[in-house]
Amino acid sequence: MPEKSNHHTYREYLHFVNVIRPHTVGVQVAAAVVTILQGYVAVTFLGLLVSQLTAANSNQNRLVVLVGSFLTVMFLMAVLGYWLDQHVQVNARAIWFGMQAMANKKMLNVTYPTFIDPDFRDKYSAANTSIMFTGGFSSFIIQIVNSICGLIAAIVLSGASLVVLFTARATANTGLAQFANSPWLFVIMLALIVIPVAAAIPLSKLSSKFTHRFFDYNVQYNRLSAYFINNIFDDYIAGKVVRIFDPEDNLVHFFGKMNTKQYKQDNKLQVQATAARSVNSIILATVIGALYVVVGIKGLAGAISIGAVIAYVGYLQQVIGALTNTMDTVGTSAATLKGLDQFIDFIEYPDTEASGKLPIEKRTDNDYEITVADVSYRYPGEKAWALHHVSLRFKVGQRLALVGPNGSGKTTLIKLLTRLAEPTEGRILLNGIDARKYDIHEYQQIFAVVFQDYRLFAFSVADNVAVNTHKDPARIQRALTLAGVWDRVQKMPKGLDTSLTKNIDADGADISGGEAQKIAIARAWYKNAPFIILDEPTAALDPVSEYEIYQRFDDLMQDKTAIYVSHRMSSTRFSQRIVVLDHGAIVEDGIHAALMQEKGLYYQLFEAQAQYYTADKIKAQRQNADAAYTIE
């Protein structure tokens, strides 16, 4: 899918370069000047050398002085050039890492609704592609600075060379000398300079067009390929599924086909782009040959020396080089600039949900009240309501259980409370103020959540519990003890400092699903946020572990406002209030005894579960199973 991008100004590009790496432009100008001078000095020397060698009064001493000064100047310029080049390289790397750091920061800082927005993800992929293929801002600076410096040198020197060549006249005025003195020779010379320069514009535009297509094509491919590599080939969990469910390696074949298609397309576009550039080189080489002939005529006619022929052709070659280079930059800069535009579009992607600036009042009494006021929510691109006209108010310190069948909207409500999604209609209020008015990062700090799909990182146990807050080993130990996993951590090779999984550290510890879930619970407790939300936190726990967690429930929750989502109806025993969701709406709300009396959905869910697990029921089912199977 072609990626649309806004056009930004050169000022903006330079601003980005300055933010990432100040002084880049200055260093590049110095490097370009030295490189250009090296070219001109070499050509001048060659001309002078040939003049000396062919002069009637050629003198050995003068030759030695000439060669000696040339070698000294070239040596000094080479050393200076090398030193500057090192800085150019360092700057290029700094810009590369700077751009990566900016992109990573953006990804981590945007609000969740933006983070999952497909348009934003496309922009991210486009920005990555642009960093990878255009060299980003460093290529831009190198291209622009080299072209401008080359152009200035070319204008000055071409002007001077052409004036000298035009005014240098042969003494005779017949035959070849007449032609050498005629303005036609000058016109031919000008035409020879103009031809490759004029050809460079359409050819580099053509080459750039192919590069553009290459970009657009790559954005989509890179996204898909990153998914395959990170989430399928390199992922432990996917690794199990693939081995059991994909014995014929269909995923690999699919990836292979995708790669082949990409490879063919890449090749086609690269070959086309290179062909356009090659035509340019062929024209250039032919023109240089023709220039030798034309300037040579001046030499043959005696208007200038042989050494001057070599020097002037050399100058004109430099001039043509500089001009074609500039034209090439103008043509290809479209591709580089598009890459930069894509990067800036991503960095400046508007994050509408981050507009609230109100700070969250820090309260030691945790006196925060949340009101869900007639909230409805539809997932982006979906027609059906995941939540419809939900109203709810949480009292401070209350323990609330959220129950309901699969897909009834429990997790969605949690996403809205924690502002991982924003209501499509209605409002959520914190202490009477619309949650959107608060700074979202501060707002999210009042919640600790154990998500259904919680994720531990391949870092140390301590880092997983404390995340990026202050690491207090005693509190981390307390958290792990309350969650019932301290014994296991103690047995790990480096205790709290043991990395989880072997993804990054070969000495890391692999743990069971239940142990991982306990660490996720410890992480939520450690955060010490006023609201603690547990979405199916004991799903992976064995009955004894679950029982133990329930035993420590008071210690875990302390005086916090707690929301507990579980399909195990018995777990609602800790909740003062039970809210029942069905098809995205609240259908019941009250205490256990009252809801049981109502004999509504809660009663049915509770009874159904109780019924499936009564001793008699299990016994009867056991007998059926036993009767159907005998061991011979």
Ligand X SMILES: Nc1ncnc2c1ncn2[C@@H]1O[C@H](COP(=O)(O)OP(=O)(O)OP(=O)(O)O)[C@@H](O)[C@H]1O
Q: Where are the alpha helices (DSSP H) in 58-182?
A: 60-109, 112-115, 118-134, 136-167, 175-181
Smallest gap from residue 209 Cβ to ligand X (A): 38
* Cβ distance to ligand X smaller for residue 385 or 531: 385
CA atoms within 13 A on the CB side of 238: 10
Give the sheet arrangement for strand 425-430, strand by strand. Answer: 387-394, 370-377, 425-430, 433-434
* Cβ distance to ligand X smaller for residue 5 or 412: 412
Stretch binding ligand X (CB under 6 A), from 64-72, 214-222, 401-409, 520-528: 401-409
Question: Under the criterion CB under 6 A, does residue 207 sit at the interface with ligand X?
Answer: no
Stretch binding ligand X (CB under 6 A), from 139-147, 174-182, 346-354, 403-411: 403-411
Stretch binding ligand X (CB under 6 A), from 71-79, 341-349, 402-410, 462-470: 402-410
Nearest CA among 183, 179, 160 for reference residue 40: 160
* Cβ distance to ligand X smaller for residue 515 or 536: 536
Question: Under the criterion CB under 6 A, does residue 379 sit at the interface with ligand X?
Answer: yes
Strand, helix or coil for residue 246: coil
Question: Under the criterion CB under 6 A, does residue 386 sit at the interface with ligand X?
Answer: yes
Considering only 408, 418, 517, 538, the residue that binds ligand X (CB under 6 A) is 408
Of 576-595, which residues contact ligand X (CB under 6 A)?
none
Other residues' Cβ atoms within 10 Å of the Cβ of residue 306: 16
Give the sheet arrangement for strand 447-450, strand by strand. Answer: 447-450, 531-535, 561-565, 399-403, 577-582, 585-590
Considering only 409, 423, 484, 537, the residue that binds ligand X (CB under 6 A) is 409
Smallest gap from residue 544 Cβ to ligand X (A): 24
Question: Under the criterion CB under 6 A, does residue 404 sit at the interface with ligand X?
Answer: yes
Question: Under the criterion CB under 6 A, does residue 412 sit at the interface with ligand X?
Answer: yes
Q: What is the spatial distance between Cα 186 and Cα 294, in angstroms, rounded to a whole number? A: 9
Question: Under the criterion CB under 6 A, does residue 410 sit at the interface with ligand X?
Answer: yes
Question: Under the criterion CB under 6 A, does residue 68 sit at the interface with ligand X?
Answer: no
DSSP state of 174: S
* Cβ distance to ligand X smaller for residue 111 or 138: 111
* Cβ distance to ligand X smaller for residue 181 or 411: 411
Question: Under the criterion CB under 6 A, does residue 167 sit at the interface with ligand X?
Answer: no
* Cβ distance to ligand X smaller for residue 500 or 565: 565
Smallest gap from residue 375 Cβ to ligand X (A): 13
Tokens of 208: 């750039």
Other residues' Cβ atoms within 10 Å of the Cβ of residue 97: 12
Phi/psi zone of residue 534: left (φ > 0), alpha (ψ -120 to 50 degrees), beta?
Answer: beta
* Cβ distance to ligand X smaller for residue 141 or 581: 581
Considering only 249, 348, 374, 382, the residue that binds ligand X (CB under 6 A) is 382
Considering only 26, 68, 239, 407, the residue that binds ligand X (CB under 6 A) is 407
Q: What is the spatial distance between Cα 91 and Cα 301, in angstroms, rounded to a whole number? A: 51
Question: Under the criterion CB under 6 A, does residue 609 sit at the interface with ligand X?
Answer: no
Of 87-126, which residues contact ligand X (CB under 6 A)?
none
The site map against ligand X for 124-153 (x = CB under 6 A) is: ------------------------------
Smallest gap from residue 339 Cβ to ligand X (A): 32
Burial 328-342 (b: 16+ CB within 10 A, else e): bbbbbbebbbbbbbb
Output phi, psi for 203, to 5 deg.
-70, -40
Number of residues that bind ligand X (CB under 6 A): 11
**Interacting residues of 341 by C-beta distance below 8 A, sequence separation 6+:** 5, 6, 7, 8
Smallest gap from residue 448 Cβ to ligand X (A): 19
Question: Under the criterion CB under 6 A, does residue 411 sit at the interface with ligand X?
Answer: yes
Where do contacts with ligand X occur on this chain (CB under 6 A)? 379, 382, 386, 404, 406-412
